Amino acid sequence: MSDSPLDKPVIRHSPSTGPNSPDVWGIYEPETGSIQYVCADPGTRKAALIDVAWDFDPKNYGLSTESMDRILDLVREHGLEVVWVLDTHPHADHVMASAQLKDRTGAPNAIGALVPRIAGIWADLYNLHGVFDPARDFDRLLKEGERIELGALEIDVMLSPGHTLGSITYRCGDAAFVHDTLMQPDVGTSRSDFPGGDTAELWQSIQDILALPGETRLFVGHDYGTQSRKEPRWEASVQEHKARNVHVKDGTRREDWIARRKERDATLPLPDRILAALQINLRGGRLPQAEDDGNHYLKLPLNRFGGAQ
């Protein structure tokens, strides 16, 4: 790795702003630009882990636990108790640590209620029918409007489709974990071209997020820096996004954004981890059953996504 801040893990604390406001730690994972979160009630020290990665090397197809180890070290350092393991959607660019963290903490894991529909799409693409069962692999499939307890605080679930058809946002007091909807204001918004994604739905999800109170802290799922900004960032308020998000600031027309997003998405390749990651993530972060030699194997579709004909 180089000496760039974008090439190193980074941890930052966003402290509670007062009553009904959680402490939030963001942990930047440099290999994928993913941000993982710890959201905690300052009073009871109960915590939720959100979108934590199980590190995957796409060159050697190896898995390691540096990211989740780092986060569990942070939990211990701050005297927190993990009571939820949460994911916003089945990630395309990193392998989720949900099952691993459930085993290591004893906390239940959860994801959105529409993830079985995503599993159906990818079961067809992998030709792996009867393999993915989110109701089996997650303790809770959370619906729009559901609430779960985090100590004395509550986490509200918002359906936020577009990037995937079943993505959800977690809102806890003045913090909202908005995953692959918005990027940082100087970057704009996230892609919507994966199977089951929808650009118009992503626009509406972003508008719903930007309708939250202006002081709401929005925590995004990824950051890759910019040509002028060489350090990772992942927090900005609703008010900041409405004032200066380069894609969706106040005054942006829906049809202009949809055209811009579709044009940009048409130039983007598949993430290099997607075909491996989704085959694990749609099992809740579990590997396929070991075969008779004791090893685990993935099945990868060829020429299904614009490859050679």
Give residue-wise pLDDT tens across range 38-60: 999 999 999 999 999 999 999 99
Q: How confident is the model at residue 307 (pLDDT cuts 50, 70, 90)?
A: low
In sequence order, the β-bridge partners of residue 50 are 37, 86
pLDDT in tens, 174-224: 999 999 999 999 999 999 999 999 999 999 999 999 999 999 999 999 999
Q: Note whether residue 48 is domain-resident.
A: yes
**Domain extent at residue 249:** 8-279
Q: Note whether residue 288 is domain-resident.
A: no
pLDDT in tens, 83-135: 999 999 999 999 999 999 999 999 999 999 999 999 999 999 999 999 999 99
Q: Note whether residue 140 is domain-resident.
A: yes
Arithmetic mean of pLDDT over the chain: 96
Q: Note whether residue 139 is domain-resident.
A: yes
- Angle 254-265/199-210 helices, nearest 10 degrees? 130
Count of structural domains within the chain: 1
Query: What is the pTM for the complete model shown?
Result: 0.96
Q: Note whether residue 50 is domain-resident.
A: yes
pLDDT in tens, 233-269: 999 999 999 999 999 999 999 999 999 999 999 999 9
Contact 164, 126 (CB under 8 A): no
Q: Note whether residue 182 is domain-resident.
A: yes
**Residues contacting 112, CB < 8 A, separation 6+:** 88, 89, 141, 142, 143, 157, 159, 166, 167, 168
CATH number at residue 235: 3.60.15.10
Q: Note whether residue 189 is domain-resident.
A: yes
Q: Note whether residue 81 is domain-resident.
A: yes
**pLDDT, mean of residues 10-24:** 97
